[in-house]
């Protein structure tokens, strides 16, 4: 007997075949309809979100939900504006489906094309972020991928309201397949979803470290994502301190509950005495608690009016706080800073503040992270800010996709061989024909598209 979740997954898989061939104009029309529908249904979204937030606040008071999760859950008019802008930014992006990646003549009249195509059916599992639904749905739709969503129970009302609005709008456009986007809502269904490697081609988890790790450890489906967001800023001996104050404060304080906020500040010993007291006062004024190694504690313990400094433990260097907490360490060289980042970091996003061109290059070359910032905040590591329209997630993987992932992470390719009755037997034996393997400057659409 087919279960409800199996029926949804199978329908989405069938729809993915149709969606892969939908033309650009139809997809853009569906996206515009989705953007308008969000604007026209603001009140319904806000009312649904109020119900979620009220319940989340009760759970927070009981100690069952952290403040960071409550913050991510909240939706207001500004966030809805962001959802709408994100969808319209995706409309502006080039349609990536069917692009010719390479073309090769194997022999005269025998041509091989490598062409981009959708991955197929994407499973998105996320916690407490209703804005994930329009972000990911818009990118998946434009890239021709069906999607099955599983949101956290703490955001169930918001997720359902947004999902229903978007799906109704998309399916109102002629040519869009029904069932391409599905929503599952119970915790029990997650286990079933993770076992459906026969249908689901890629999983994208969005949530806490423990949550992402659980997904990675309990499925055979490929997973795009990151378990940790332990990011660093390194203030070099050749840093311009005005830039350092600005970058480090923004990297920690602008939005501390996200994966691209810094958790550790590394400071070269040659500038520590001058830099740290002022930086500490700025952190302190912003409510940041500081966990200091021995050298930085010795500098800061005598600063008047600092409300919260403590000695760091070994555990602090590998902790993602997602809060107004930062660990601080003084290093004696850029090499020590790089070694610390590669040892304790999560290969997510790390920054250097320096005016030294050699040190900038060394840091860029040797820090093994998906995003490396030079004199800029780690908070820039984001799909929208990177010009991707929106993002499906941030990956620290080294295969398929890395860093903030937009539509390019939702595409794979296929090979298309165009011949005229050609057979391999002609290329075998003493009188075998020779392959030319000549690169072609040609797009497959020039040959196969029908006007």
* 390 CA to centre of own chain: 9
Provide the 3-class DSSP secondary structure of residue 209.
helix
Position 389 scores a pLDDT of 67
Please state the rounded mean pLDDT for residues 330-337: 97
- Say whether pLDDT at 162 is over 90: yes
Please state the rounded mean pLDDT for residues 326-351: 96
pLDDT digit string (tens) for 384-412? Answer: 888 876 677 778 777 777 878 888 889 99
Position 440 scores a pLDDT of 95
pLDDT digit string (tens) for 437-450? Answer: 999 999 988 887 65
Query: How many CA atoms lie less than 13 Å away from 424 in the CB half-sphere?
Result: 1
pLDDT digit string (tens) for 346-362? Answer: 899 999 999 999 999 99
Q: In DSSP terms, which residues pair with 118 in a beta bridge?
A: 411
The residue length of the chain stands at 451
- What domains lie within the chain, and their CATH numbers? 4-98+117-224 (3.40.605.10), 231-388 (3.40.309.10)
Helices (H), 254-293: 269-285
Q: What's the Cα-to-Cα distance from 17 to each of 176, 410, 418, rounded to whole Å?
A: 12, 15, 22
Under the banding of pLDDT at 50, 70 and 90, the label for residue 310 is very high
Q: Are 394 and 403 in contact (CB under 8 A)?
A: yes
pLDDT digit string (tens) for 87-132? Answer: 999 999 999 999 999 999 999 999 999 999 999 999 999 877 898 8
Nearest to residue 45, comparing CAs of 88, 92, 82, 8?
A: 82
- The percent of residues above 70 in pLDDT, for the chain, comes to 98
Position 214 scores a pLDDT of 86
Position 437 scores a pLDDT of 96
pLDDT digit string (tens) for 246-275? Answer: 999 999 999 898 889 999 999 999 999 999
Q: What's the Cα-to-Cα distance from 399 to each of 61, 223, 262, 274, 370, rounded to whole Å?
A: 42, 11, 25, 42, 11
- Say whether pLDDT at 227 is over 70: no
Nearest to residue 407, comparing CAs of 101, 143, 141?
A: 143
Provide the 3-class DSSP secondary structure of residue 116.
strand
Under the banding of pLDDT at 50, 70 and 90, the label for residue 226 is low
Please state the rounded mean pLDDT for residues 294-320: 93
Position 159 scores a pLDDT of 95
Position 180 scores a pLDDT of 97
Q: Are 12 and 180 in contact (CB under 8 A)?
A: yes
Q: What global pTM score does this model have?
A: 0.79
Position 441 scores a pLDDT of 94
Under the banding of pLDDT at 50, 70 and 90, the label for residue 451 is low
Position 146 scores a pLDDT of 97
């Amino acid at each position: 007997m087919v279960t409800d979740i199996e029926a949804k997954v199978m329908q989405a898989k069938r729809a993915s075949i149709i969606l892969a061939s939908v033309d650009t104009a139809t997809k853009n029309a569906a996206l515009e309809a989705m953007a308008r529908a969000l604007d026209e249904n603001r009140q319904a979204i806000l009312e649904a979100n109020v119900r979620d937030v009220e319940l989340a606040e009760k759970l927070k008071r009981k100690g069952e939900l952290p403040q960071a999760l409550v913050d991510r859950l909240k939706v207001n008019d500004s966030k809805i504006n962001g959802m709408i802008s994100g969808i319209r930014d995706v409309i502006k992006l080039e349609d990536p489906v069917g692009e010719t990646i390479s073309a090769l003549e194997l022999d005269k009249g025998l041509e091989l094309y490598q062409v981009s195509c959708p991955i197929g059916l994407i499973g998105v599992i996320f916690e407490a972020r209703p804005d994930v639904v329009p972000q990911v749905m818009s990118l998946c739709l434009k890239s021709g991928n069906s999607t099955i969503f599983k949101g956290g129970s703490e955001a169930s009302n918001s997720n359902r309201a947004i999902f229903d609005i978007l799906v109704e709008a998309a399916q109102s456009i002629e040519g869009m397949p029904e069932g391409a986007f599905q929503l599952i809502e119970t915790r029990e269904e997650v286990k079933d979803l993770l076992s459906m490697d026969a249908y689901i081609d890629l999983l994208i988890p969005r949530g806490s470290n423990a949550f992402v790790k659980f997904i990675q450890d309990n499925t055979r489906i490929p997973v795009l994502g990151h378990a940790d967001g332990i990011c660093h800023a390194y203030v070099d001996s050749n840093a311009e301190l005005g830039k350092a104050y600005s970058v480090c404060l923004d990297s920690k304080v602008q939005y501390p509950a996200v994966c691209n906020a810094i958790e550790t500040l590394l400071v070269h010993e040659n500038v520590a005495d001058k830099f740290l007291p002022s930086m500490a006062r700025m952190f302190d004024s912003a409510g940041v608690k500081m966990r200091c190694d021995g050298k930085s504690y010795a500098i800061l313990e005598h600063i008047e009016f600092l409300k919260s400094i403590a000695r760091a433990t070994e555990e602090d260097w590998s902790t993602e706080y997602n809060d107004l907490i930062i660990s601080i360490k003084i290093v004696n060289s850029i090499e020590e800073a790089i070694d610390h980042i590669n040892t304790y970091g999560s290969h997510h996003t790390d920054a250097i503040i320096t005016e030294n061109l050699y040190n900038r290059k060394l840091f860029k070359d040797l820090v093994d992270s998906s995003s490396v910032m030079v004199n800029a905040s780690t908070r820039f590591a984001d799909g929208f800010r990177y010009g991707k329209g929106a993002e499906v997630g941030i990956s620290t993987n080294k295969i398929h996709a890395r860093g903030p992932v937009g539509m390019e992470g939702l595409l794979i390719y296929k090979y298309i061989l165009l011949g005229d009755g050609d057979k391999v037997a002609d290329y075998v034996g003493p009188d075998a024909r020779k392959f030319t393997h000549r690169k072609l400057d040609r797009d497959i659409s020039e040959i196969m598209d029908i006007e």
